[in-house]
Amino acid sequence: MAFDIEMIKEVYARFPERIAAARKAVGRPLTLTEKILYAHLSEGPASQAYKRGASYVDFQPDRVAMQDATAQMALLQFMQAGRDQVAVPSTVHCDHLIQAEIGAVKDLDKAKDKNREVYDFLASVSNKYGIGFWKPGAGIIHQVVLENYAFPGGMMIGTDSHTPNAGGLGMVAIGVGGADACDVMAGLAWELKFPKLIGVKLTGKMSGWTSAKDVILKVAGILTVKGGTGAIVEYFGEGARSLSATGKGTICNMGAEIGATTSIFGYDQKSAAYFQGTGRADIATMADAIAEHLTGDDEVYEQPENYFDQVIEINLSELEPHVNGPFTPDLAWPISKFAAAVKENGWPAKLDVGLIGSCTNSSYEDISRAASLAQQAVDKKLVAKSEYTITPGSEQVRFTVERDGFLDTFGKMGGVVLANACGPCIGQWARHGADKQEKNSIITSFNRNFAKRADGNPNTHAFVASPEIVTALAIAGDLTFNPLVDTLTNSDGLAVKLDEPTGLELPTKGFAVEDAGYQAPAEDGSKVEVLVDPASDRLQLLDSFTAWEGTDIKGLKLLIKAKGKCTTDHISMAGPWLKFRGHLDNISNNMLIGAVNYFNESTNSVKNQLTGEYGEVPATQRHYKAQGIGSIVVGDENYGEGSSREHAAMEPRFLGVRAILVKSFARIHETNLKKQGMLGLTFANPADYELIQEDDSIDILGLTTFAPGKPLQIVLNHKDGSSDTISANHTYNEGQIEWFKAGAALNLIKAKA
């Protein structure tokens, strides 16, 4: 549980020299992002050859963090790597497999029983390989990392797309697939295309109803769900320094929703206060000694347009609270315009449920501000019209807010406290009545609101806002209520107005916890047995994927031409499927069942070219595989948006899909495909998407001379005997081409071991 003080000393020791060398090599002042990236290059100082958004660069991260749903596959892969111990400090956090239904205690007990074999596997494999293990109930990975492991100037990768949460404390923290985590834990360098830089200058200071959440909701509206793709977002300015450390974490966390590689704030006094408040004053002392290196150079922030690829400026003094949604996190509405939008679009104005917490907004500050509104409801004789749930971010936060009376306050308002876990945010919500698929509205302080994500109901209109706005609207039970100007009628028939929320960044009596839920690994894991039952339907040891056959790939059947948004939730759903995250064969039965088929506008219904009949996507692909026939998936823009889950890449690979051809990829998913030996290709001409026909047999040519920057040729053989030849681009470098030839990156690691 220790925060690796010696490792941090080593990182800081190399900062001055490396940053000086980088500044000299680049020949200009540096942003904070560049300083940290250059300090973590695996091979020496910066070079002018590193062009933003163009060159792949090798880095050496300081640590790895894994959540339980993705850790299963990551560690099953690591077991094949041939190492006795992980090469960098690593942790596993059990937060994804706990389903919300009744309340914290009963839900946690049920999860421990239901997921016992998975937890036993994760505990044992962590114990064997030197990995810290956070038990179920300990908290959500990103809040636990913020409280225990994040440090300014560090670099971390995590098997969850919201790993950037740690950027709130000045860390370059990036979401990756399990294969990337496996590489780093095995001691290899980690590869990333050198990112572009987006600067967000924050001026002024927030007050009243506005919170840090509103900053990222505003940014999402500006940049959209793919506007940050291939870029790191760096926040700076007087407004940035005025935000709490956990507020900054909220902003960085939800940067995943704009496709950003990660987001980051510089080290400041708010950071120092958080380290001191969480028992890590040593980090603040060390950071103070090199503070000049833990922020961008003065010249950068004085003239940001000269150093960033794009600059956005937001005045916090003028920023309104926002509500984003439904169905996408970038549909942004200032609260003053939201009621009109609800009415004009015919969204259900009646609010069924308000949910606060999740990895995005579950800090002491978040809960204390929401509790101030709950107390007002009690004092002003208001009864909450909507259901209301609270998800603390960690056991430390939960224990502290219970001690300080906030949970009791929520209870008086009718709130239900859920387990310290992801719960409804990732579809782990046994919502009663969701199966009726009735049209309804919910509002959350979560980060994502894709259709069906929270409760499986495609007609649930999910909106995203700050915990304060969520609480106020839950009290009102009405999406058209604006707490800044509107009144409510209390039980005495009187019109009352909610006062502005208040709260504390840190508890005045300090944090407290009886059992944080941490298990340290064995000092010698050589005799520890990893627990996997060969007959299990939840865990399955992996077999290696086969190597490329050395020829062009011909005769591929079109499995599906996906229409519109196709996120990782569409490719590999969460919710009830989470139980199979450690069993590749079983979870492959959810492959692409949420994708919309271009040819019939249906989900999970594609034409089997061998029988002429329509069937489920996984069953159709299994039929092709049984006949020794490969296939191809065609997709639209930003394919693979959302989670870091590599199952969305491993399932098609396992079932015999050879290539994914799309208009554009989300970053993490494209990398995951490459790691698994798949071909991730993009239309050179996006209009060629329209040429794909339902009965096409497809050839991929040029693989025998596969090279960086050299397009491949795709031949579309149509049913009527005609054909079209189109060009497909790719971003594979020499090393990634070797992954493809070997059948997977892991195959190369095993060969070296």
Query: Residue 428 gets which letter from DSSP?
Result: -
Those residues with Cβ within 8 angstroms of residue 352's Cβ, 6 or more apart along the chain or in another chain = 386, 387, 440, 441, 442
Q: What is the DSSP string of 280-336?
A: -HHHHHHHHHTGGGGS--HHHHHSGGGTSSEEEEEETTTPPPEEE-SSSTT-EEEHH
Tell the residue number behind the tokens 């206060």, with chain if given.
273
Q: Where are the alpha helices (DSSP H) in 97-163?
A: 104-114, 116-129, 141-148
Q: Pairing relation of β-strands 553-561 and 488-489?
A: unpaired
Catalytic residue of the set 160, 180, 214, 268: 160
Rounded to whole angstroms, how far apart are CA atoms 290 and 451? 46
Rounded to whole angstroms, how far apart are CA atoms 648 and 287? 39
Catalytic residue of the set 40, 583, 645, 667: 645
Those residues with Cβ within 8 angstroms of residue 353's Cβ, 6 or more apart along the chain or in another chain = 386, 387, 388, 389, 431, 442, 443, 474
Rounded to whole angstroms, how far apart are CA atoms 498 and 378? 11
Q: Are 141 and 27 in contact (CB under 8 A)?
A: no
Written as six digits, the tokens of 353 are 């449920």
CA distances, 369 to each of 215, 372, 411, 470 (Å): 17, 5, 15, 11
Angle between helices 364-379 and 406-413 (to 10 degrees): 40
Q: Is 95 a catalytic residue?
A: yes
Q: Are 196 and 309 in contact (CB under 8 A)?
A: yes
Catalytic residue of the set 142, 280, 448, 538: 448
Indicate the SS3 state at residue 725: strand
CA distances, 359 to each of 250, 390, 438 (Å): 8, 12, 28
Q: Is 644 a catalytic residue?
A: no
Q: Is 645 a catalytic residue?
A: yes
Residue type for position 101: E
Written as six digits, the tokens of 255 are 């940067």
Rounded to whole angstroms, how far apart are CA atoms 186 and 406? 44
Q: Is the dihedral of CA 77, 589, 158, 395 positive or negative?
A: negative
CA distances, 470 to each of 324, 346, 388, 528 (Å): 12, 20, 9, 47
Question: Residue 3: which of 145, 154, 127, 148 has the closest Cα?
Answer: 148
Question: Residue 297: which of 22, 106, 510, 91 has the closest Cα?
Answer: 22
Catalytic residue of the set 68, 95, 180, 688: 95
Catalytic residue of the set 211, 394, 572, 643: 643
Determine whether 625 is exposed, middle or buried from the number of CB atoms within 10 Å of its CB (0-12, 13-18, 19+): middle
Catalytic residue of the set 96, 369, 538, 570: 96
255: left (phi over 0), alpha (psi -120 to 50) or beta: alpha
- Residues labelled catalytic: 95-96, 160, 448, 643, 645
